[in-house]
Amino acid sequence: MPEFVRVEKDPTHPAVAVVRLDRPKMNALNAQVQREIGAAAEEVAADGSVAAAVLYGGERVFAAGADVKEMADMSFADMSAHSRVLQDCFTAVARVPKPVVAAITGYALGGGCELALCADFRVAAEDAKLGQPEIQLGIIPGAGGTQRLPRLIGPARAKDLVFTGRHVGADEAERIGLVDKVVPADQVYSAAVEMAARYAGGPAVALRAAKEAIDRGLETDLDTGLEIERGWFAGLFGTEDQKAGMRSFVEQGPGKAEFTGR
């Protein structure tokens, strides 16, 4: 059984899975937590009853970063092996074939920020702080911060955060596109769940296709991205949801289709 990361169903929206980090005091992301995050992502991905997921560290903090005490005495050989595991666990979150929302309270720093970057959307508390402070330790981000961050906010802004290691408040994070919504701290969880719940009852295969087409397309050239899109677009005409959606549109007008996720 996992010790620090568990997957729960939200009681008001059972189609929303909540990946709950719970390693007091600051949800430091040691090797065990990293592995448990990867396992939780695989569980969410495989559960057909889950339409979307929320990453949540609790009311106090999302995740204040990696466990520096654990890393401080590692050698190059040690970290060369461990960094692959670290990236693989976070990539498992990014590749969950369903919408994922990060609910950010307190701090999302270093690995915590990188975990939030693996989500599709980010909801932050008004007093939240985000950043990539690894440069202050004499290193660089190692769980996607130099790659996912510039893809999200642009290279110049990403370099500012990575080069300086400075923390940004929620307002600035929203302004530069690092977070999508800012709410009072006591509303972060509910706002994230409501955002995720929008996808319950949706066309699950089409949502998976849309996410993969966008994410994979960002990693390649336009022509290859268009081929990815075309393959998924044509393939969706083999789903029950496509038949139901178009039949409903013709007979009842837009927005009335009932999907089965098949």
Q: Active-site residue among 15, 66, 143, 158?
A: 66
Whether cis (ω within 30° of 0) applies to the bond prior to 25 is yes
Return d(Cα 19, Cα 9) in angstroms, integer.
9
Q: Active-site residue among 40, 92, 106, 134?
A: 134
Q: Active-site residue among 15, 40, 114, 204?
A: 114
- Contact predicate 203/261, CB 8 Å: yes
Residue 114 annotated to the active site: yes
Q: Active-site residue among 111, 112, 131, 245?
A: 111
Q: Which amino acid is at 59?
A: E
Q: Which amino acid is at 62?
A: F
Residue 111 annotated to the active site: yes
The 3 state secondary structure assigned to the chain is CCCCEEEEECCCCCCEEEEEECCCCCCCECHHHHHHHHHHHHHHHHCCCCCEEEEECCCCCCECCECHHHHCCCCHHHHHHHHHHHHHHHHHHHCCCCCEEEEECCEEECHHHHHHHCCCEEEEECCCEEECHHHHHCCCCCCCCCCHHHHHHCHHHHHHHHHHCCEEEHHHHHHCCCCCEEECHHHHHHHHHHHHHCCCCCCHHHHHHHHHHHHHHHCCCHHHHHHHHHHHHHHHHHCHHHHHHHHHHHHHCCCCCCCCCC
CB atoms within 10 A of CB 220: 12
Active-site residue set? 66, 111, 114, 134
